[in-house]
C-alpha cells in the first residue's frame, strides 16, 4: 500500500518528524488561511456519540473565547445519537442546532456530518480508535480542524498511515488536538518544567499503576441475539483488540504518556507479563473478550531507565491508580489518583512522606479541568492561527502502548521499531464497511474469540 511508510526505524522517524515540524511552521505561513477570527462562529460536528464524544462536544461548546455551535452528529447506533443530542440540547439550548436531516446513522455518516461544515470548522472524532485514520482522511480532504480522542491507532499499519496523513494536515495548516489530557493538566505542566530543570536530579525510575475493577466494556459475554457480529464488536469495543487496542491502550495510555513526558523521551522497548484469570460471571457464563485481566510491563528508555507499569481489572483486589518518578535528588508523585489527578508533589527523598514535601502544585480554580483546558488551548490556536498539531505525539504514545500490549500478548521483547513495522493489520478495509459487512474478528462455535497465547503465537497477538 503506497500510503504506508515502509521499514521505518525509530531514529529515522524522529529525524523525519523534526523536519516535518520545521517545514510545517513554514507551511503555516503560506497555506490558505483556514481559521476563525475571535468574533466568528465556529461550527462543530462530531462523529461517535458515546459518553466521551458527548463530553468533548460539551467542552467545545463551553469554550469562552468566541461562539461555537453544534450543527451535525454521526454514529452507527441511533440510540446513542438520540441520547447524546437530548443531553446536549438540554444543557446548551440554542448552541445545539442539529436538525433531523443533519443527524446521520451508518458507516458513511461521518462524511455526511463533515459535509455540513466549512473549511476551518471543527470535527470531533470520538469513535473507537480503529476508525481514526478513516475519518481523519476525510477531515483533511475537507480542510477541517480536528479534535480526536486517544488512542489514535491500535497497530503498526494504522500508525504508519496516520503519520503519513498528518503530513498532509500540517501542510494545510490544520489545527489538531488529541485527547491526551495529561499534557493540558496545569499541575503536570508545572511538574514537567521542574523535573526537566533538574529539581529531582536525573530520573532513575518511573512507576505507574491502574488497578481497579472491570470498567467500560472491558469484558463481554457471548453475543446476544438481535445484533450483528460487527455491531456487537463495535458496541463492546474495549473487549476487542482490533477496535480499541483492548483495555490496555484505552485505559493505560495517559500514564504511559505523562511518564514519558516527564522523562522527555520515549521508551524504545518493552517486556511484559499478563494473564487471564476469572473469565466467567457469577452464573458461570464465560467472558469472550480478548483482554488479559492483569498486565505488568517493563518499558526501557534508550539510556536504560525504566518505567514499571502495572494494570489490573479485577474486583476485590487492592486498588491503585497513580504514578511516581524517582530521581537522584528526590522523587515526585505525578498523578495522585487517576489519569492525571492533582496535586503533583515533589519530595526530598524517595518516600512520599508529607514531612518531606518541597513543592506541591496549586492550580487556579478555572484551570483545574484538564478536559476543558485541552479545548481552550485548541480553540486559542484556531482563533490566533498558531501552529497546533498533536497527532505525531498521539500516534507515538499509541504505538508505545501497543508495544507494551504486544509484549504481554506474545511473551516477547518488543521494540518500538518492531511495533511500528509490524505488518499485522487487525482490521483492513475499515473505510469500506457497511451495516452488512462481516466483523473483522470471527467467533468460534461457542461464541468465543481468539485470545493471545504468549510463547505460542509470537509474531502477532492472536
416-453 residue pLDDT tens: 999 999 999 999 999 999 999 999 999 998 889 999 99
Instruction: Say if CB 401 and CB 422 are below 8 A apart.
Output: no
Cα–Cα distance measured from residue 147 to residue 135, given in angstroms and rounded to the nearest whole number: 11
The yes-or-no verdict on residue 32 having pLDDT over 70 is no
Q: What is the mean pLDDT of residues 159-186?
A: 98
Which of 42 and 448 is assigned the larger pLDDT?
A: 42
Q: What does the pLDDT read at residue 282?
A: 85
Domain ranges for the chain, please list them.
10-182+371-388, 185-368+400-432
We find that the CATH architecture of domain 185-368+400-432 is 2-Layer Sandwich (3.30)
Residue 439 burial class via C-beta count within 10 angstroms: exposed 0-12, middle 13-18, buried 19 and up: buried
Percent of the chain surpassing pLDDT 70: 92
The yes-or-no verdict on residue 27 having pLDDT over 60 is no
The yes-or-no verdict on residue 19 having pLDDT over 90 is no
List Cβ neighbours of 71 (8 Å cut-off, separation of 6 or more): 43, 44, 45, 97, 98, 102, 116, 117
pLDDT tier at 324, thresholds 50, 70, 90: very high
Does the fold of domain 185-368+400-432 match that of domain 10-182+371-388? no
Could you list the beta-strand ranges (E) of 201-282: 203-212, 269-275
238-289 residue pLDDT tens: 999 999 999 999 999 999 999 999 999 999 999 999 999 978 888 889 999 9
Task: Measure the N-to-C terminal CA separation of the chain; round to a whole number of Å.
Answer: 23
Q: What does the pLDDT read at residue 1?
A: 35
Task: List residues bridging with 311 in a β-sheet.
Answer: 210, 295
Is residue 347 classed as helix, strand or coil in its secondary structure? strand
Return the CATH number of 10-182+371-388, one of 3.40.50.300, 3.40.50.720, 2.30.30.60, 3.40.190.10: 3.40.50.720
Can you say whether the dihedral through the CA atoms of 84, 88, 91, 94 is positive or negative?
A: negative
Cα-to-chain-centroid distance, residue 417 = 20
* Average pLDDT value for the chain: 93
The CA angle 133-136-139, to the nearest 5 degrees, is 160
Cα–Cα distance measured from residue 8 to residue 381, given in angstroms and rounded to the nearest whole number: 31
pLDDT tier at 12, thresholds 50, 70, 90: low
CB atoms within 10 A of CB 3: 11
Amino acid at each position: 500500500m503506497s500510503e504506508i511508510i515502509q521499514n521505518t526505524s525509530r531514529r529515522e522517524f524522529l529525524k523525519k518528524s523534526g523536519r516535518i515540524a520545521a517545514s510545517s511552521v513554514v507551511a503555516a505561513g503560506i497555506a490558505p488561511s483556514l481559521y476563525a477570527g475571535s468574533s466568528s462562529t465556529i461550527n462543530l460536528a462530531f462523529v461517535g456519540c458515546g459518553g466521551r464524544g458527548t463530553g468533548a462536544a460539551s467542552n467545545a461548546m463551553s469554550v469562552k473565547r468566541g461562539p461555537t455551535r453544534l450543527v451535525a452528529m454521526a454514529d452507527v447506533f441511533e440510540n446513542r445519537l438520540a441520547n447524546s443530542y437530548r443531553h446536549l440540547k438540554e444543557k446548551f439550548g440554542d448552541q445545539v442546532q442539529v436538525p433531523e436531516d443533519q443527524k446521520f446513522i451508518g458507516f458513511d455518516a461521518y462524511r455526511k456530518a463533515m459535509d455540513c461544515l466549512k473549511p476551518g470548522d471543527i470535527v470531533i472524532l470520538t469513535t473507537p480508535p480503529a476508525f481514526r485514520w478513516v475519518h481523519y482522511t476525510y477531515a483533511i480532504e475537507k480542510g477541517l480542524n480536528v479534535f480526536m480522542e486517544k488512542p489514535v491507532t491500535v497497530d503498526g499499519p494504522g500508525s504508519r498511515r496516520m503519520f503519513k496523513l498528518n503530513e498532509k494536515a500540517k501542510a494545510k495548516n490544520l489545527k489538531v488536538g488529541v485527547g491526551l489530557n495529561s499534557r493540558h493538566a496545569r499541575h503536570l505542566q508545572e511538574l514537567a518544567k521542574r523535573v526537566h530543570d533538574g529539581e529531582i536530579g536525573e530520573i532513575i525510575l518511573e512507576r505507574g499503576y491502574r488497578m481497579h475493577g472491570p470498567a467500560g466494556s472491558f469484558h463481554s459475554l457471548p453475543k446476544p441475539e438481535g445484533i450483528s457480529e460487527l455491531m456487537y464488536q463495535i458496541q463492546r469495543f474495549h473487549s476487542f483488540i482490533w477496535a480499541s487496542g483492548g483495555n490496555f491502550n484505552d485505559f493505560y495510555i495517559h500514564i504511559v504518556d505523562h511518564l514519558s513526558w516527564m522523562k522527555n523521551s520515549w521508551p524504545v522497548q518493552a517486556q511484559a507479563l499478563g494473564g487471564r484469570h476469572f473469565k466467567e460471571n457469577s452464573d458461570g457464563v464465560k467472558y469472550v473478550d480478548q483482554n488479559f485481566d492483569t498486565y505488568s510491563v517493563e518499558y526501557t528508555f534508550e539510556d536504560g531507565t525504566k518505567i514499571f507499569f502495572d494494570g489490573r481489572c479485577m474486583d476485590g483486589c487492592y486498588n491503585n491508580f497513580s504514578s511516581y518518578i524517582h530521581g537522584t535528588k528526590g522523587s515526585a508523585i505525578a498523578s495522585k489518583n487517576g489519569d492525571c489527578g492533582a496535586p503533583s508533589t515533589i519530595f526530598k527523598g524517595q518516600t512520599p512522606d508529607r514531612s518531606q514535601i518541597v513543592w506541591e502544585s496549586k492550580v487556579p480554580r478555572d484551570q483545574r479541568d484538564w478536559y476543558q483546558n485541552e479545548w481552550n488551548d485548541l480553540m486559542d490556536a484556531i482563533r490566533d492561527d498558531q501552529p497546533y498539531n498533536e497527532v505525531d505525539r498521539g500516534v507515538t504514545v499509541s504505538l508505545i502502548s501497543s508495544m507494551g500490549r504486544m509484549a504481554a500478548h506474545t511473551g516477547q521483547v518488543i521494540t518500538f521499531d518492531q511495533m511500528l513495522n509490524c505488518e499485522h493489520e487487525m482490521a483492513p478495509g475499515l473505510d469500506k464497511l457497511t451495516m452488512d459487512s462481516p466483523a473483522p474478528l470471527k467467533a468460534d462455535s461457542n461464541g468465543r474469540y481468539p485470545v493471545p497465547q504468549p510463547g505460542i503465537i509470537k509474531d502477532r497477538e492472536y
